[in-house]
Amino acid sequence: MNSPLAAAAAADPIAAWRLKIQRLSAQKSIPRYIAVEGPIGVGKTSLAKRLAEVFNYPLIQENETYNPFLDRFYTEGRHHALPTQLYFLLNRARQIGELSGHDLLGPNLVADFLIEKDNLFAELTLDEAEYKLYQQIHNSLQLAPPTPDLVIYLQAPPEILQQRIKTRGLDSEQLIQADYLRTLTERYTEFFYYYKQAPLMIVNAAEIDFAHNNRHFEALLEYIFQMEGSRQFFNPNPTLL
């Protein structure tokens, strides 16, 4: 006789995936803490939300608390970079601090940011004096974030990012310059080229819609479950999904 959970899964795709995760966890190690990263517009928050739903994990987001300086940074430029960056740093430090020490095995969690990548934005947007001040404040926080079991890095060309930013229609983001996006994607590529702190899955997200296409999302889930080693590349052809 089918269990209640199996019966629910037949009618509910989320329940079906949760059932599969439950069964897999009895056979192999399933990621407990998944971090999704990538430049603005690549779809990291949408993917993080779906992963949190399927794994039934809590979700923390870098935009969970409104940054009052962000609109001014996008519309008025660099002289708002330091307060923008410090606000994000302090908010993320608070979020990470709330996780530390609660579970010796690590948190069950999906996050749409890595606090380690904050320095990437600081180097990109701050002048020399501002960057020194940022580093002093960062070091004084003595951050010790838990290490993810899996980091998913979403890649897409700056032209694709700009199209997606335009489509989602947030007023302040429409002023983001193409040169800024190009430099940002280059910095992300460099950051993750050297990243070795956790298993890393690099995903070509240029033609993939994890937010709205269930086949794309399910293909990624299958790849997560089959992943071996410290670094893998997921480069699907969307026409074959």
| Domains of the chain by start residue, with CATH | 35-240 (3.40.50.300)
Give the residue from 50, 46, 78, 45 showing the smallest Cα distance to 63: 45
pLDDT at residue 186 in the model: 96
Looking at the predicted structure, is the pLDDT value of residue 50 above 80? Answer: yes
Instruction: Give the three-class secondary structure for 41.
Output: coil
Burial class of residue 55, CB neighbours in 10 A (0-12, 13-18, 19+): buried
Average pLDDT over residues 173-180: 84
pLDDT interval class at 149 (50, 70, 90): very high
pLDDT at residue 128 in the model: 95
Average pLDDT over residues 145-162: 94
Encoding tokens for residue 152?
């998913």
- Name the amino acid, one letter, at 30: I
pLDDT at residue 62 in the model: 80
pLDDT at residue 238 in the model: 66
Looking at the predicted structure, is the pLDDT value of residue 49 above 80? Answer: yes
How high is the mean pLDDT of the chain? 86
Measured distance CA(167)–CA(52) in Å, rounded: 24
**Percentage of the residues of the chain whose pLDDT score is greater than 70:** 89
Looking at the predicted structure, is the pLDDT value of residue 190 above 50? Answer: yes
Encoding tokens for residue 104?
């010796």
**pLDDT tens-digit profile of 73-102?**
888 778 889 999 999 999 888 887 777 555
Average pLDDT over residues 178-184: 92
Task: Give me the sheet containing 231-234, strands edge to edge.
Answer: 59-60, 109-111, 33-37, 150-155, 200-204, 231-234
pLDDT at residue 241 in the model: 61
pLDDT at residue 1 in the model: 45
pLDDT at residue 77 in the model: 75
Instruction: Give the three-class secondary structure for 89.
Output: helix
